Structure 1
């Protein structure tokens, strides 16, 4: 016989805070559970068999509905099942009538827009906000956009995800998480109850293949570090602000977005430091970048456009687009991407420079995986990074460190 969960007391239920489904009914009310959401919200769920299928029935939020009240409701629902009555359908009809009367229904699309508006201030950048909107508009709204939050169930979620789960795994994975968050928001707001049909662990992970087994890791195409010295003179001859921004990105080993958003207010030429604010960093922490002599000289030679504070402004004064640096490489007939130069720097530093790993990782603004090591390396190791970046600039200035001419065929193979 299957092992039954222990019947919990009111105090034991009060102390349940770990996210997940906690069965509390014991032998008296089997299937009664307290659902604890990652957001901290808690609600009652009754797991029952209806027509040979396992169903989850919401019994209200906790502590508004007490343990005793949840047990009474669960026992009443089980009596209905024994009488061949579907308590979930009856409850849904009752709630629909109540919601219609009280105005407590909300369509998924309206809920998603409300969720985005409430949370987008905490998101890092405009691209992240746009990805939220675009993915929901493209895949979710056509199927559940006009549906009431309380009516969305597992078949609707699968109808959204299954067509793209293998072909667009990363998009589908992120989309699932976004739908889950919107539905959780609806639960807390009182527009739906019961378990979230978009949840992964213990639910969709039994129906869909694990993303890691489907997604193929694609590395950014990068220039071999031995070829950087042959490449840099060609880049310096290229005209335009995009070429200068790419040169700056290579010599600082920074991300394209950080470079394109750089302002003169962030740069201290006298101290040779570029301080990137937290809101523009992937890790959400400010990052100080030591500027080599070559970078300082390049910045001093740059023209400054009136009406904008960007270091590398677009022709009309705004920020360069994310394709500008890529276009520079395409015009040079190189099959690499701007982000790949961070890999070029990392491989040179690790294989040829002799600088410590933690210094290299700090230069790339990476978070150390080892928490003990990260705690030990609380400082930015800035003096050592000054030496690292100066060595990198010197290496990039060596004209015969490689042969870029034959690079395309190697990368294409």
Structure 2
């Protein structure tokens, strides 16, 4: 074995440009023409000569260079290429420095295609942005554990339980994304944090709804033909969500059927399936009246006409009337009327509201949207809303 430790610190410091000195065992110090001096280790792995830099003499002393060289010689002797191993370790170290905020934003970008409007409304990311990232975003994602999550969510776990639940759910998806890009994260951290936080004491508050018996009087008051009045009328008559009514366009109407685009249907199912809404004679009248206000294709345009009216426009109208109920609550009014005044099956009644009631296997076989049964129900609901009969509705057993 060739002698080692041939050099002294003085020799290393006084090395002239363009020269090299051998410390033994493949360790060299090389002073380049430009004056920089580097440590270089030469080893042979599987008959192949490899040369790797160990750093400059300004940051790595002679003693440190010998210690580092011993480490890499040992790997080479065992048949491992030290350069490949070092690159691997550097990649792993880099992965461990991925900050939670960066990974969260990357996860959001990856999920945009599954979100309404590509997530532009911010509802998917905002629970993270407001409640997780300010406290944990600066940490490497590999350091996120149940204790850190618990401390971040503790202030709102009982006071804003739904928000905390959403933040926890989004964080779990971010950790799954981190695992998918090969980061060493704890995928059970959110479940563990939930166990540490305990059962929430928060009582959910439902959106205030008007009793179905009071809807006709309110509907009758929406008589001035303004955009807000007409939008509220359509919302009441059809039972759709606010977003669907506000974004209604005439090209969505074919005959007496309104096809609501998938992006305005809540839930993942809505990303792949439009929803047909049967329109009563009264609903068709409302839509024809709305065409007088049409701007940029919107039947219910905002004052600036670039976009449809906002949900707040309808909510504020009800606030100014001194009502506790809100526009979304008319869906609950309709659902209660269906339960109290019709014998519609649970499946048909839920379909009226566009709710997903089938699992993937059931949906593969049950493909009817019960349009004809819903047409009967929606006409009778219209009769009730406009002050006509609201008697018990009996339906045929099947659409056929």
So what's the TM-score if we normalise by structure 1?
0.65
Are 1:275 and 2:259 an aligned pair?
Answer: yes
Secondary structure at the aligned position of 1:392 is classed as: helix
Which of 261, 270, 275 is the aligned partner of 2:247? 261
CA distance in 1, matches of 2:113, 2:259: 23
| Aligned equivalent of 1:247 | 233
Unaligned runs of 5+ in 2: 1-85, 391-400
* Native 8 Å contact 1:266 1:276 kept in 2: yes
Distance 1:376 1:101 in 2: 50
Distance 1:244 1:306 in 2: 12
Q: How many residues align?
A: 300
The separation in 2 between residues aligned to 1:307 and 1:245, in whole angstroms, is: 14
Which secondary structure does the structure 2 equivalent of 1:389 belong to? helix
Task: Please state if 1:292 is matched with 2:280.
Answer: yes
Aligned counterpart in structure 2 of residue 218 of structure 1, from 205, 209, 221: 205
In the alignment, the residues of structure 2 paired with residue 101 and residue 374 of structure 1 have an alpha-carbon distance, to the nearest angstrom, of: 47
**1:263-297 deviation line (CA, Å, top 9, x unaligned):** 111112xx211011222211412111111011111
Contact 2:142–2:185 (CA<8 Å) still a contact in 1? no
In the superposition, relative to structure 1, how do residues 121 and 353 fare at CA in structure 2: closer, same or farther (>3 Å)? same
Q: State the shift of 1:169 in Å.
A: 1.1
Q: 1 CA distance for matches of 2:370 and 2:279?
A: 14
Q: Is the 8 A contact 2:141 2:178 kept in 1?
A: yes
Contact 2:144 2:185 in 1 (8 A): no
Q: Which residue in 1 is equivalent to 2:166?
A: 174
Distance 1:125 1:102 in 2: 34
- Cα offset for 1:130? 0.8
* Alignment match, 1:343: 332
- In 2: Cα distance, 1:365 partner to 1:394 partner: 21
Pick closer, same or farther for the CA change 1:95–1:145 going to 2, 3 Å. farther
Q: Which has the larger radius of gyration?
A: 2
Computed over aligned residues only, the root mean square deviation of the Cα atoms, in angstroms, reads 2.9
Partners of 2:364 and 2:327 lie apart in 1 by: 31
Separation (CA, whole Å) in 1 of partners of 2:321 and 2:216? 15
TM-score, normalised on structure 2?
A: 0.67
Q: Secondary structure at the match of 2:277?
A: strand
* Aligned equivalent of 2:153: 161
Cα distance in 1 for partners of 2:339, 2:389 equals 20
The answer on whether the counterparts of 2:315 and 2:326 sit within 8 Å (CA) in structure 1 is yes
Shift of 1:95: 11
Deviation at 1:100, TM superposition (A): 8.3
SS of the residue corresponding to residue 289 of structure 1 reads strand
Name 1:310's counterpart in structure 2.
298
Matches within 5 A, 1:191-210: 192-196=183-187, 198-200=189-191, 203-210=192-199
Counterparts of residues 130-169 of structure 1 (less than 5 Å): 130-169=122-161
Measure the CA separation in 2 of the matches of 1:98 and 1:169: 41
Residues 204-263 of structure 1, C-alpha deviation per residue, up to 9 Å, x if partnerless?
A: 34312134xx331322211111222222211224x5211110110000111111111111
Change (3 A) 1:363 1:165: same
Distance in structure 2 (CA, Å) of the matches to 1:373 and 1:101: 47
Q: Matches of residues 80-91 of structure 1 in structure 2 within 5 Å?
A: none
Do 1:176 and 1:198's aligned partners in 2 also have CA atoms closer than 8 Å? Answer: no
Q: Gaps spanning 5+ residues in structure 1: where?
A: 1-93, 402-413
Aligned equivalents of 1:194, 1:371: Cα separation in 2: 31
Structure ranking higher on relative contact order (CA contacts 8 Å, 6+ apart) = 1
| Contact 1:349/1:355 (<8 A) preserved | yes
| Contact 1:180/1:196 (8 A) holds in 2 | yes
